[in-house]
Structure 1
Amino acid sequence: MNDFDLLLMRFLIASLGCCAAGFSVWALSSLLRRYLPALAAQRSLWLLGQLTVLATFALILLPHSERVRLIPPLEAATETVTQYIAPPKAPALPTTTAEEARQAGESADARAWQLSVAQAWLCVYLIGLAWSICSVWRAQLMLNRLAQTGTGACATEGMKANDASGMRAAVIEVDAPISPMLLGLFRPRLLLPRHLGGFDKLQREMILEHELTHLRRHDLQWMAAGMLLQTLLWFNPFMRLLRANLCWAQELGCDRDVLRGRPASQRKAYAAALVAQLKLQHLAPQGALSFGSIDPNTLTERVSLIRSPGDARRAIWARAATAAALAAIAIGNFALQPALAWSVSPSAQSMAALNCTTFVDAASGKALLREGDCAARITPVSTFNIAVSLMGYDSGFLKDQHAPLLPYRAEYKAWNKEWRRDMDPSQWISYSAVWYAQQVTQHIGRERFERYVQEFGYGNRDTSGDKDKANGLTWAWIGSSMQISADEQTAFLCKLVRHELPVSPYAHEQTAHLLKLKDLPNGWQVFGKTGTGAPLGPDGKDDYSRSYGWFVGWATNGQRTIVFARLAQDERLIEGAAGPRLKEAFLRGLPAQLAKL
């Protein structure tokens, strides 16, 4: 999968994840609303609920950490242990059995099917988004045309009082059977139906005050924010329900402010005006704040709250309790996000183990065998020591297989006890000591190090290191910015064996000496380097049950040279480092495989 395909898969999972979050938020809010009725008038909580759902969507969609760290157990030290461990049931080379080929085909078909679903969903989402935007736009055009048919109205005393506080809105009377409504995010207008003249004077004043209270509270901006969130996640039914409750809370909030301190008789008149207005209006506006923005199903509840307002102290308690609960949901979704996104991680493509075997003819560059996810990039870990060796010999810092002998220092990061000793180049390659490689790159310097990586064409060539840590010179290849695929490993090694890298012939020769392994029974000489790493699990820690193992190198018989790269990921926790285990299994099947090639 390329980066765009991975983004499509994350988008599909993010869509499913935000629907699950929407259900959680809606269930929570409904529960709290039942036992804490004062919650209904808290507009901030409903908007916060929408934001929680959107945050879940964003957390899953955004690229997350692909860092793969070096496994603490020393690779070379485990080689003797693996001799006593039963070899894995799967053969070293995935092409040796028809069953494995069938499983690989099924895995590829499953990924292709998942990608097709993700592509189809993106098309559906874009069509639905366009439809939602058009619906909102049509509603606004309808309201604007309605306002254009009206005539200006004289300001009431209530309006003048609000003008004095700096809150102004053009007042327009229309003949349409609508509810008094406030519209216009940047140019507020108050639409009043002519039938409002048949209401009692006190009722008209309170209705006008209701709409102007919306203006003072900036409810138009709140409504626009809720509508924007609903439009972006139009497919999530719970976003629509949460926005409807946001509008409901805005109306109850205005009722509370208008009726604060008023006697029961005026409350009764206000409720009567609400019932009368509901009977007269025919238009349910979208994109406006309406005095009659209710339906018959919620009329009884609103009238009840108008007559008997909730306790302010209980409202504060409701706000605090709901904010805490929503925070818990957001944290829970954040914790779940890495687990959901695991299946589309570039370093772990899916919960199926990453697996690749590739053989390439060094002279022609032709692929002789290529099976698995050979284009997937992950950290090179200790296999990058091949490149570091070339740099070290070319720069003159490394002399031969046993010089220089670098002294170990206590301040070096050496989590394996075998590293806590003085080392020469041959011991460094054997033990994969990170601190030795870091001494080489530090001697080379940042500028020259970056130039080597660029000229080698090594992987993604990213030497920046961890974000905001400026440690690329010493950590870029250890579960950090530098990534490489099996295809790119073989391309780099082909240049190495053909002596085509921009380093001295001596650097090529000495590096080959360091990588020399045992000869095979059929006359082939093998050169190679292992690498071991572990991806970050859902808890943010190294997941050793999903360890990666690299084994890259080449084999030559004097007449022909074949470059290889083997990458495999464990599906369970296995004793011993993954790289050496993979190497031993690979070498057992290598003679037979070379005979076929």
Structure 2
Amino acid sequence: MTGFDIALVRLLLAAAGSLAAGGAVWGVALLCRRYLPALAQHRSLWLLGQIAVAVVFAAMLLPTTQRLRVVPVIEMNEEAPSPMPAASASPQASATVTPAADLTPAAPALSWHTWLRDAARAWLLLYLLGLGHAVWRWRRAQRWLEALAASGSPLDAAAHVPLPDVIEVAAPISPMLQGLRKPRLLLPRHLRTFDPLQQQLIVEHELTHWRRHDLCWSVAAFALQSLFWFNPFMRLLRARLGWAQEFGCDRDVLRGRPPAERKAYAAALVAQFKLQLRPADMALAFGASDAGAHAPTLAARISLIRTPTTERRRWPRWLALASLTAVAVVSVALQPALGWRSAEVQDASAGAALALDCTVMVDAANGASLVREGTCGERVTPASTFKIAISLMGFDSGVLRDEHAPYLPYQESYASSNPSWRHGTDPAGWLRESIVWYSQQVTSQLGAGSVRNYVQSFEYGNRDIASVAGVDDAVAFSELSPTLRISALEQAAFLRKVVNRSLPLSAHAYDMTARLLKLDQPVNGWEVYGKTGTAAVRLPDGSEDQAQDIGWFVGWAVKDGRTVVFARLLQHPVEADLYAGRQTRDAFLRELAQRVL
């Protein structure tokens, strides 16, 4: 799949999430309508309900909400076909080929991805058609209203009172307020047959819409309904908003008026209902709304006119707002995140780095593969895991003597980039704190030729450790080597030789290295020996990814006389004061505590 297709799949998931959120919001609104009827007459409840659904939709598209999801991520892993190995005359240039046992049959995945891609593309087409239809309906309604206004004749209003333009039309419409930027009051000619008091109350109703800025609320609700045309709950919420706006105007117009005027107002509402045409979208009419143009709603409205509610307390509004906020948060939290890793997309992106996630576990005695998961054939820098090899070299050659010798004081010429390493240390502290400058002093005393010979005899990764122009040899022959690369599979192969003591090294080198690598606490009965490593991800252009690090944890574990070597490689977002190697170690130890080997 392309990046565009993946975005469409996420859009489809967000649309489904908005449907679920709409149902939850509508349920909360109905509860408010039943148990807090006065609150249901306020327009804010219904518009906030629409906004809550829109917020859920938008939040599901933001990557920052991934951490808020409590539902496990749906991983969509697409395997790309493995390339044929390129012929090479030297180990340094050899391509890494993932063994056949590490491959996953691609046909089912591709079939599933193809279906999902087609569904997402079809959804985009359907959505655009629906949105186009909504825009067409709005334009048609606007043209009808403009033609209606043009067919009428303006009426004079009081010069000293700021009012919208008033236009009288011959069509049997309901008195209505129309126009967002320049509102106009359209009055039907048949209104002249109404009682003067009724005429006054009807006009006051429409002017109350104008004063309350109800047209702005209606435009916002209509825009949200149009954008989410596929969500039936948005239409229901908008209809209830129109219902609440009419009740709000009824309440404001009739506040403090005697029963006789209330009765005249109700009679005018019934008379208008019998004469009118249904108003177009984006107009606020005295006798109708999306929810008010039906006899049952009209009867309820008249009932409230006769017996108005007096509930004015603020706590129901805060309760409703808190409920809608909770619905939005829970809807986001319960929607699954879509995690997609596509080798095709990664290879096609010039600045992208391959996401690394591998676990290898091998029986040290017979070499049987126990666990092999993820991208285990990819060669990357060994980072500080190369300290295992340096430790073996140092103790074998005598440069290192025991866990406390030699002790080397820190010198400013070492120019350590990490302030916490600027102190003297010994071999135990070197491996415990993973101090780079100490590694460089050990390899400097060993000499470039000796280090290179050891790496060749270890068959360590690509075995390419060499002097590099512009790079000090102390750096080039340490864990910071710009040329040395190793895969997780090769790490496991090297460590199996270490555990089986099949390398041409002294027993003292094996003993001291194992002693310094041992973790303090057993895990699920396993005595664990290991070393972490952290390094920046290298992009295809050779630059460092400032947002991603790779983390290594490699070593072996012993339990009941059985030894298992392991290599765990995991890519992490860069976090201050939290090294990727430590995160990888902690993740592996948690996995080890749950694995049955």
| TM-score (ref. length: structure 1) | 0.59
2:344 is aligned with 1:313:
no
Contact 1:496 1:508 (C-alpha < 8 Å) held by counterparts: no
CA distance in 2, matches of 1:188, 1:181: 10
Which whole-Å deviations, capped at 9, do the CAs of 1:12-50 have from their partners, x for residues lacking one?
221111111110010111121022221232011111111
Q: Which residue of 2 aligns with 1:304?
A: 303
Unaligned residue ranges in structure 2 (runs of 5+): 68-96, 346-354, 361-372, 388-398, 401-405, 412-417, 440-460, 505-529, 536-549, 555-566, 572-583, 593-597
Q: Which residue of 1 aligns with 2:233?
A: 238
2:43 is aligned with 1:43:
yes
Q: Which residue of 2 aligns with 1:507?
A: 475
CA distance in 1, matches of 2:63, 2:377: 19
Contact 1:129 1:232 (C-alpha < 8 Å) held by counterparts: yes
Decide which structure has the larger Cα Rg and report it. 2
Shift of 1:196: 0.8
CA distance in 1, matches of 2:63, 2:469: 34
2:13 is aligned with 1:13:
yes
Which whole-Å deviations, capped at 9, do the CAs of 1:96-122 have from their partners, x for residues lacking one?
559x633x5434433443333223222
Which whole-Å deviations, capped at 9, do the CAs of 1:51-105 have from their partners, x for residues lacking one?
11111111111122679xxxxxxxxxxxxxxxxxxxxxxxxx985559x633x54
DSSP 3-state at the match of 1:172: strand
2:343 is aligned with 1:341:
no
Q: Percent identity?
A: 46
Q: Which residue of 1 aligns with 2:88?
A: none
Q: Which residue of 2 aligns with 1:34?
A: 34
Which whole-Å deviations, capped at 9, do the CAs of 1:366-420 have from their partners, x for residues lacking one?
xxxxx967999xxx9x9665899xxxxxxxxxxx99997669xxxx999xxxx99
Aligned counterpart for 1:323 among listed residues 321, 341, 344:
321
2:104 is aligned with 1:101:
yes
CA distance in 1, matches of 2:156, 2:341: 63
Shift of 1:170: 0.5
DSSP 3-state at the match of 1:152: strand
Aligned counterpart for 1:176 among listed residues 155, 171, 180:
171
Letter in 2 for 1:136: W
Contact 1:8 1:119 (C-alpha < 8 Å) held by counterparts: yes
Shift of 1:177: 1.4
Give matches, 1:367-406, under 5 Å: none
2:115 is aligned with 1:113:
yes
CA distance in 2, matches of 1:279, 1:374: 77
CA distance in 2, matches of 1:276, 1:233: 36
Which deviates more from structure 2 when the two are superposed, residues 290-299 or residues 252-261?
A: 290-299
Q: Which residue of 1 aligns with 2:56?
A: 56
Cα RMSD of the aligned pairs, angstroms, is 5.0
- Provide closer, same or farther for how the CA distance between residues 432 and 191 of structure 1 changes in structure 2, counting only shifts above 3 A: farther
Q: Which residue of 2 aligns with 1:193?
A: 188
Q: Which residue of 2 aligns with 1:136?
A: 138
CA distance in 1, matches of 2:231, 2:437: 50
Letter in 1 for 2:325: A
Aligned counterpart for 1:281 among listed residues 273, 276, 279:
276
CA distance in 2, matches of 1:25, 1:290: 27
DSSP 3-state at the match of 1:289: strand
Aligned residues: 422
Letter in 2 for 1:101: T
Which whole-Å deviations, capped at 9, do the CAs of 1:466-499 have from their partners, x for residues lacking one?
xxxxxxxxxxxxxxxxxxxxxxxxxxx9897687
Aligned counterpart for 1:215 among listed residues 210, 220, 237:
210
Letter in 2 for 1:206: L
Q: Which residue of 2 aligns with 1:249?
A: 244
Letter in 2 for 1:140: Q
CA distance in 1, matches of 2:342, 2:427: 33
- Provide closer, same or farther for how the CA distance between residues 404 and 342 of structure 1 changes in structure 2, counting only shifts above 3 A: farther
Contact 1:129 1:231 (C-alpha < 8 Å) held by counterparts: yes
Shift of 1:244: 0.8
CA distance in 2, matches of 1:577, 1:260: 68
CA distance in 1, matches of 2:426, 2:202: 87
Shift of 1:142: 1.6
CA distance in 1, matches of 2:126, 2:375: 29
CA distance in 2, matches of 1:15, 1:114: 15
Q: Which residue of 2 aligns with 1:261?
A: 256
Contact 1:530 1:580 (C-alpha < 8 Å) held by counterparts: no
Shift of 1:234: 1.6
Letter in 1 for 2:331: N
Shift of 1:335: 3.2
Contact 1:95 1:101 (C-alpha < 8 Å) held by counterparts: no
Contact 2:39 2:317 (C-alpha < 8 Å) held by counterparts: yes
Unaligned residue ranges in structure 1 (runs of 5+): 68-92, 359-370, 389-399, 441-492, 534-547, 553-564, 570-574, 584-597
Contact 1:66 1:345 (C-alpha < 8 Å) held by counterparts: no
Higher relative contact order (CA 8 A, sep 6+): 1
Shift of 1:205: 0.5
Shift of 1:357: 9.7
